[in-house]
Chain A
Amino acid sequence: DSGVTQTPKHLITATGQRVTLRCSPRSGDLSVYWYQQSLDQGLQFLIQYYNGEERAKGNILERFSAQQFPDLHSELNLSSLELGDSALYFCASSFGQGVLRYTFGSGTRLTVV
């Protein structure tokens, strides 16, 4: 157990639907990062939050959004889902922004049918 908890572990949904993925960071960590991993794209950085504020955006689609709550857990919202959104979604946490050691969760496998 890495200390980063992601739920659900698996999710199957239909095209056009909306889902929410949840991440609880390791205790004491203030930064949360979301990554998408599909077979042909590798690990792609989506978005970063630090202590409730958005700090950096990567290759995140407009259909996707995220937030970090006061208790530091984070949610990634994916809407108008397409088949190509099927992927593993990982959350990582770190103590600070410049800290270089990330702890990853075990991921949520999203399948869009």
Chain B
Amino acid sequence: DAKTTQPNSMESNEEEPVHLPCNHSTISGTDYIHWYRQLPSQGPEYVIHGLTSNVNNRMASLAIAEDRKSSTLILHRATLRDAAVYYCILRDQNSGYALNFGKGTSLLVTP
């Protein structure tokens, strides 16, 4: 699976939107873009995933660049509960391999 690059950390104010970037310049046509997050002392949880088009769900939005070499996870209104490590992961839709978690971005949300 292709590699992703994320900032080590980001900070946001509560109730403001947060844009978490992810670069994946070597993405292949069959790689899905996944986002998971891990709250302190918990297991990772699924946030969203997409292939080419932008995606929305109750937790977040995923904006995918037209060339697919980058994507952005958007939290529309950050809450203190959104403080977590966010992982951007690529995985081929046909791959039988497990998700490979990198370092992720540690998001700090301040009141």
Shortest distance from the beta carbon of B105 to any chain A beta carbon, whole Å = 13
Interface size class of A (residues with CB under 8 A): 20 to 34
Q: How many residues of B contact A (CB 8 A)?
A: 24
Q: Contact check, B42 vs A106: say whether CB atoms are below 8 A apart.
A: yes
Q: State the main secondary structure of chain B at its contact with A.
A: loop
Q: Mark B24-58, 1 if CB is under 8 A from A, else 0.
A: 00000000101010100011111001000000000
Q: Which of B36, B43, B95, B98 contacts A45 (CB 8 A)?
A: B98
Q: Contact check, B97 vs A104: say whether CB atoms are below 8 A apart.
A: no
11 pairs of residues in contact across A and B, judged by CB atoms under 8 Å: A4-B43, A42-B104, A55-B96, A56-B96, A56-B97, A90-B43, A98-B93, A98-B95, A100-B93, A101-B46, A103-B46
- Chain B positions within 8 Å of A, measured between CB atoms, are 32, 34, 36, 38, 42-46, 49, 87, 91, 93-104
